[in-house]
Structure 1
């Protein structure tokens, strides 16, 4: 009889065919067998799930700002990857900006890898950056294993990562098309934002008006058309405007190679409930109205939006200007790396959406976006990245009990359904007090 390194047994295993009783056998860090309940697989270690627990594949979060090196006081690889594991995220892909240096050439990528490697409690990959003047660096970054490159179409919030204009974006798309690289885009139009009233003071309505839907809609239309003309792959980050969904759906019907994501804050929060001065909720593009939120859920259900990722963009508490509540001065970003799964699950089940759909949006689809063919599913041959999740358990968010470096959260005091009780990476339990076991990932590898 075959003996496995680890066997997990339970009444609720989230397989590729849906949730069912079963047993999972793990060997050499990968899933070697998925069998019906009663198969009596033998293992050196055995995990028996409780009746209220379900085994999920580890989540894949492809939009995380770790900020190290350079702004490690905002976050860092040790704190970010601990938070990821506590939230059931076993793979994250780090954004190229907010760290210093930004990841805009191979030398900066090597600095990032050297810092991340000894500290990673989960597997970590990297995006490169597309900024004015580094067109010639794109192929080198691609060959060194970044999963794609990111650009902004307006000021990024940090001066060392300047934006491209639309014609520049087209040149970068044309370059990437030559080797099938991926451009991921923060899509807000710079002129439309400049023409809007500037954000200042504590009124959320004023901040919302400063980042109008039209700015996002126009920029997404520009991304679609430039991707159409060049034949390149493009991905729209953090879609918040439901107005853009028909454009995205139409472009895909036309064969444009474009994908899109949204984030937990756009799916769970809404403008009408945000109190004036609540700069914990500031992000760009902004959290919009309740009716808009419902249309984003519809976009997920009909496949227009591909995946849900965190856009974890933390800062120190002082940069949120909680004392004055001034939306014009506060850093724009929501910290949610550890909370994504319960946030989305709480809202999904209220709508009658199954856990299998949530797992698809937060594990399999992001893995597919970046080509990690060994991640995001419980199936033979996939990495043994597993999460023991209690979907009916509940908790109240306490920022001081999260692993994020800074205890500030838009979700403080919010009751959520779903508790991550155990996270397994490549067949081993993640111990946040132990030795980091995460691997550095490269584009083109099946996993680690």
Structure 2
């Protein structure tokens, strides 16, 4: 197959970044069970039809994007992204995060509730978040709410206002105004949310039952790793599984790092628990053995573990025991990371990777036998289901939003500061050679990113339409 694509000439002048596209053609369109030539017809931001090559026509005057052999698939949905707006002007805001997402082929992100001020734990805070986001988003954005002690009266109002679910922590977050919950708080919240279709997101760490030794050299990654052992994830996962079985409310484990927790999840599923789980790109691409002394830009919670654990995560992905792969994008500035200090215990946690999720995953996955369809399942379809967006996003078909990523899986490139669109350029992936360059991103038929350029005006939607309080449905994964 030739790597040369006529996408570089798809540039009749009428096809410009920011324009509305009515037809996308490619020899590699990833549909439910096939990858092959197809023409995607777009009308009013929706997919109107998908035609085989023999039926292609070229009406005069229409905006057609013919990308040759480049891959066309559903836009990626990242349900785990931390946006620091409002209230944190030094952090990643809606403009930069949605531009970086568009450059990475992501068409929808779901914002986490804790790193803004106020955190999204009340209806008032959700309204402030929406006001802050208005007119700044280059792609579509949805929003999680948060559960903290004492906010149970806010949960149903936020759910009705459009959040698909709520995140909580079982141990201290280090974030003011976003306290962790105890078992009593969770029971109160889950009773409040019975007979709804929401999902609860759990960070899978809880305080160990005994104190942990701390080595003297805090510039060594092993010192930090010893403070967050596997047992913290295992114990938290046991708690989450028991709650999920008791209430049968869909529960989702974010940021899974430890493969030792997977048998607990598998057992709970077999007993009927509607429980799902994600892992993040850094757990699949980075290993603790390779983290240099003082390399605090690798710090995240739960931590990056060893190569053997990483291989077990990949094996779980292959057999469907992990449902999705996300960025868990948590950018930190150089000042916050305090590079001159290099102290793993004092540095804030967080890894920036949003823009590079697709190539990070593909670079490792292609050699392991993963297909484009596997990629769509893990990064488009299942995240859409989790975020309660599967009726309009995550797959290609008539009636779905015309959210598309167009990319070259054979193209290799180097991650350097000049191509990073995150506000802060600090990332452990600098210098990485990755496969899978994004050429174009469409959101509801509009070309929001094209070959390094962004649409001049951000027109992403805020996905918070008022919701009814339906009878609880079982998790669509089962």
For Structure 1 versus Structure 2, the TM-score category normalised by the shorter chain is: over 0.9
Aligned residues: 440
Q: Is the 8 A contact 1:23 1:41 kept in 2?
A: no
User: What is the DSSP-based 3-state SS (H/G/I as helix, E as strand, rest coil) of the residue aligned with 1:118?
Assistant: coil
2:457 is equivalent to residue 439 of structure 1 = no
Q: 2:360 aligns with which of 338, 343, 349?
A: 343
1:433 shift after superposition: 5.2
Of 79-88 and 313-322, the range deviating more from structure 2: 313-322
1:71 shift after superposition: 1.6
2:245 is equivalent to residue 267 of structure 1 = no
Paired residue for 1:284? Answer: 301
Q: TM-score when scaled to structure 1? A: 0.95
Paired residue for 1:57? Answer: 74
1:425 shift after superposition: 0.8
User: Would the alpha carbon gap of residues 74 and 400 (structure 1) be closer, same or farther in structure 2, given more than 3 Å must change?
Assistant: farther
User: Would the alpha carbon gap of residues 444 and 187 (structure 1) be closer, same or farther in structure 2, given more than 3 Å must change?
Assistant: farther
User: What is the DSSP-based 3-state SS (H/G/I as helix, E as strand, rest coil) of the residue aligned with 2:135?
Assistant: helix
Q: Is the 8 A contact 2:294 2:341 kept in 1?
A: yes
Paired residue for 1:363? Answer: 380
Of 170-179 and 65-74, the range deviating more from structure 2: 170-179
C-alpha distance in 2, partners of 1:102/1:195? 30
User: Would the alpha carbon gap of residues 255 and 298 (structure 1) be closer, same or farther in structure 2, given more than 3 Å must change?
Assistant: same
Mapping of 1:304-383 within 5 angstroms?
304-372=321-389, 373-383=391-401
2:52 is equivalent to residue 30 of structure 1 = no
User: What is the DSSP-based 3-state SS (H/G/I as helix, E as strand, rest coil) of the residue aligned with 2:134?
Assistant: helix
Q: Is the 8 A contact 2:110 2:387 kept in 1?
A: no
User: What is the DSSP-based 3-state SS (H/G/I as helix, E as strand, rest coil) of the residue aligned with 1:108?
Assistant: helix
Q: 2:431 aligns with which of 402, 405, 413?
A: 413
Mapping of 1:5-154 within 5 angstroms?
6-42=22-58, 44-51=62-69, 53-154=70-171
C-alpha distance in 2, partners of 1:401/1:10? 26
Supply the RMSD in Å over aligned alpha carbons: 1.6
Structure 1 residue runs without a partner (length 5+): none
1:38 shift after superposition: 2.4
2:393 is equivalent to residue 393 of structure 1 = no
User: What is the DSSP-based 3-state SS (H/G/I as helix, E as strand, rest coil) of the residue aligned with 1:318?
Assistant: helix
Paired residue for 2:319? Answer: 302
Of 308-317 and 120-129, the range deviating more from structure 2: 308-317
1:443 shift after superposition: 6.4
Q: Deviations over 1:82-112 (max 9, x none)?
A: 0000000000000001100000011100000
Q: Is the 8 A contact 1:10 1:37 kept in 2?
A: no
Mapping of 1:129-278 within 5 angstroms?
129-192=146-209, 195-198=211-214, 201-278=218-295
Q: Is the 8 A contact 1:174 1:232 kept in 2?
A: no
C-alpha distance in 1, partners of 2:299/2:234? 19
Q: Deviations over 1:154-177 (max 9, x none)?
A: 111212210001332232222222
Q: Give structure 1 regions of 4+ aligned residues with deviation exceeding 6 angstroms.
A: none
User: Would the alpha carbon gap of residues 218 and 279 (structure 1) be closer, same or farther in structure 2, given more than 3 Å must change?
Assistant: same
Of 418-427 and 297-306, the range deviating more from structure 2: 297-306
Structure 2 residue runs without a partner (length 5+): 1-19, 468-478
1:404 shift after superposition: 0.3
User: Would the alpha carbon gap of residues 108 and 178 (structure 1) be closer, same or farther in structure 2, given more than 3 Å must change?
Assistant: same
C-alpha distance in 2, partners of 1:284/1:37? 48
Q: Deviations over 1:130-149 (max 9, x none)?
A: 00110111111111110101
User: Would the alpha carbon gap of residues 198 and 114 (structure 1) be closer, same or farther in structure 2, given more than 3 Å must change?
Assistant: farther
Q: Is the 8 A contact 1:22 1:36 kept in 2?
A: yes
Q: Is the 8 A contact 2:150 2:185 kept in 1?
A: no
